[in-house]
Amino acid sequence: MDLRGKVVLVTGSSSGIGREAAIQFARKGSIVVVTYCRHRKAGERIRRECLLHGPAELMHLDVRDNRSVSTAVRQVTRRFGRLDILVNNAGVLSVAPLHRQSPRGIIVKAAEEKLGKRSGDDVDIWEYLDESP
Ligand SMILES: NC(=O)c1ccc[n+]([C@@H]2O[C@H](COP(=O)([O-])OP(=O)(O)OC[C@H]3O[C@@H](n4cnc5c(N)ncnc54)[C@H](OP(=O)(O)O)[C@@H]3O)[C@@H](O)[C@H]2O)c1
């Protein structure tokens, strides 16, 4: 597939798999939109790596926040006129094997993410459940 000139947005591209995906798209000649959530400096580094190959932008995007997602998409379409490819990579990993996880543990992890808390913080699961669709 010819990826030259395609406008590609990779969520969670300030590290890991998203970082690699962003750089590979840049190497193939795509216009890459790198996004970060908490680590702007890391995102800037990846954008600079992409710029070695072609145009690249850096944007903040938090997939937990609908407004953040629509703002990023609007910025991309305003800047480049379109969005050709979305790589929705952003996410979090639970490090324990599934058989060692409890339903409560999984809900607490989801609540920490949704409410923007860090592991070990007090999490009000009911607040999370009230907000969940
Ligand atoms: N690595 C694996 O073995 C593996 C296995 C199965 C599935 N996956 C999935 O593959 C994806 C990438 O994994 P990875 O290992 O590359 O993870 P990673 O190195 O921890 O990177 C996660 C990326 O997601 C971003 N991110 C975190 N929370 C976000 C949010 N709320 N909104 C937007 N971006 C957010 C981070 O940005 P900041 O750092 O800027 O916050 C970072 O760029 C994840 O969805 C993960 O669940 C990974």
Spatial separation of the C-alpha atoms in residues 67 and 59, rounded to whole Å = 14
Q: What is each CA distance from 67 to 57, 72, 101, 115, in whole angstroms?
A: 19, 9, 32, 15
Q: Are 100 and 114 in contact (CB under 8 A)?
A: no
Q: Which phi and psi angles does 31 have, rounded to 5°?
A: -90, 115
Going by alpha carbons, the residue nearest to atom 15 of ligand 1 is 16
Q: Please identify, by atom number, the ligand 1 atom nearest to the C-alpha of residue 18.
A: 16
Same domain, 77 and 115: no
pLDDT exceeds cutoff 90 at 102? no
Q: Please identify, by atom number, the ligand 1 atom nearest to the C-alpha of residue 90.
A: 24
* CATH number where 16 lies: 3.40.50.720
Q: Please identify, by atom number, the ligand 1 atom nearest to the C-alpha of residue 91.
A: 45
Report DSSP state, residue 118.
Answer: P
Q: Facing residues of 5 across strands?
A: none
Structural domain that includes position 118: 98-128
Same domain, 20 and 45: yes
93 in any annotated domain: no
Chain mean pLDDT for the chain: 89
Same domain, 11 and 51: yes
pLDDT exceeds cutoff 90 at 110? no
pLDDT of residue 131: 64
Going by alpha carbons, the residue nearest to atom 8 of ligand 1 is 93
Secondary structure element (H or E) that encloses residue 116, with its range? none
Q: What is the pLDDT of residues 31-76, one digit of tens each?
A: 999 999 999 999 999 999 999 999 999 999 999 889 999 999 999 9
Q: What is the pLDDT of residues 112-121, one digit of tens each?
A: 777 777 666 6
The count of structural domains within the chain is: 2
Same domain, 57 and 109: no
